[in-house]
Amino acid sequence: MTGSKNTKPFLKWAGGKTQLIVEIEKSLPNIGHSHFTYIEPFVGSGAVLFWMLNNFPNLKKAVINDINQDLINTYKTIASNPNELISILEILQSEYHHLDGNDDKKKQYYYDKRALYNTRKEEITSQSALFIFLNRTCFNGLYRVNRKNEFNVPMGSYKKPTICDTENILVVSEALRKVEILCGDFEQTLSYADEKSLFYFDPPYKPLSETSSFNSYAKDEFNDDEQIRLRDFCNRLDALNHTWILSNSDVKGKNAEDNFFDDLYAEFSIQRVNAKRSINANPKKRGKLTELLITNQVNI
Ligand SMILES: C[S@@+](CC[C@H](N)C(=O)[O-])C[C@H]1O[C@@H](n2cnc3c(N)ncnc32)[C@H](O)[C@@H]1O
């Protein structure tokens, strides 16, 4: 990786961590040697993963995981078959841009591709290309599915979205060589840890109110019991001497009486940091919010 171009996420994703990275960097334990294993169990678009790969070129290995199988298949395609993926994306991009000025036809094109994606009958590379196409052209880059796992986000209003970022796909593909890519529940990542590993958790955030819920990335909801299961997992990692950093919403910022996370993580270090959220249907609600960064701060 040394000397190669910087990688960046190839997707827009709810909760993308780009703005939080500065704060995460300050919370990193004193990584005296950079030869460690990095594990990200809720990888999403991988903003922190790519930052780690850029900044720690001597990273021993990285392990990423997500429960969203379509997302993980797209990572696998980029890793193993970037050129074919690029060819398909180039076609999608030129067909879509060719319809500029004809809104009805453009809309029809988007909804046809969405229906094709939802059949899940295409082979993995075409399916991954459709995944990227929809991510680039849908409303706010949201990923939302219904109970039948059908992607149901409407078309967005981007003028000329980049659908095929050839250069980035190639550098991401190169960077993914040292990354193990897993699909499933976050707990399975423990068996991939080395003696001392660094975990970064960015789970679906606990909603600040009933209506602000953004955590429908997968069919199954990430409710309070899941947040507690994650805390139990963090306790296990701590007992095993692994280091972890976790982000989540600051429910106390909204309701001073709400001690949910302060109670759950009482024995660890909890920091409140400013973070800008960009995904909200209502622009007035895209203002500043505090988020939590919690860590067990064991040096690795
Ligand atoms: C807040 S997003 C992660 C955002 C990511 N850090 C980024 O930069 O884009 C949470 C992710 O957790 C995944 N997820 C939900 N439940 C999960 C589970 N039980 N195990 C693993 N991943 C899960 C979702 O599919 C989603 O991609």
Atom of ligand 1 nearest to the CA of 214: 1
Whether residue 209 is found in the same domain as residue 286: yes
CATH of the domain at 107: 1.10.1020.10
Note down the domain range covering 190. Answer: 18-67+184-295
Whether residue 216 is found in the same domain as residue 275: yes
Whether residue 55 is found in the same domain as residue 95: no
- pLDDT at residue number 25: 84
CA 69 to ligand 1 centroid distance, Å: 11
3-state secondary structure of 139: helix
- Contact indicator for 38, 56 with CB cutoff of 8 Å: yes
CA 80 to ligand 1 centroid distance, Å: 22
Whether residue 275 is found in the same domain as residue 239: yes
Sorting pLDDT into bands at 50, 70 and 90, what band is 5?
A: confident
Whether residue 188 is found in the same domain as residue 61: yes
DSSP letter at 271 equals: E
The identity of residue 165, as a single letter, is D
Span 139-189, pLDDT tens digits: 999 999 999 999 999 999 998 999 999 999 999 999 999 999 999 999 999
Evaluate if residue 2 carries a pLDDT over 50: no
Mean pLDDT (the chain, rounded): 89
- Residue at 4 is within a domain: no
- Rg value, the chain, Cα: 19
Q: How far is CA 146 from the centre of its chain?
A: 19
Q: Which of 42, 48, 200 to mutate to test the pocket of ligand 1 (most atoms within 8 A of CB)?
A: 42
- pLDDT at residue number 215: 47
CA 219 to ligand 1 centroid distance, Å: 12
| Residue ranges around ligand 1 (CB below 6 Å) | 13, 15-17, 41-42, 44-48, 65-68, 185-186, 202-204, 217-218, 222
Among left, alpha and beta (phi > 0; psi -120 to 50; other), residue 15 is: left
CA 12 to ligand 1 centroid distance, Å: 13
Give the β-pairing of 269-276 and 243-249: unpaired
CA 202 to ligand 1 centroid distance, Å: 6
- pLDDT at residue number 19: 66
Evaluate if residue 285 carries a pLDDT over 60: no
Whether residue 60 is found in the same domain as residue 188: yes
Span 246-263, pLDDT tens digits: 999 999 988 899 999 999
Looking at ligand 1, which residue's alpha carbon is closest to its atom 1?
204
Span 26-44, pLDDT tens digits: 878 766 566 889 999 999 9
Span 200-244, pLDDT tens digits: 999 999 998 765 545 444 456 899 999 999 999 999 999 999 999
Looking at ligand 1, which residue's alpha carbon is closest to its atom 5?
44
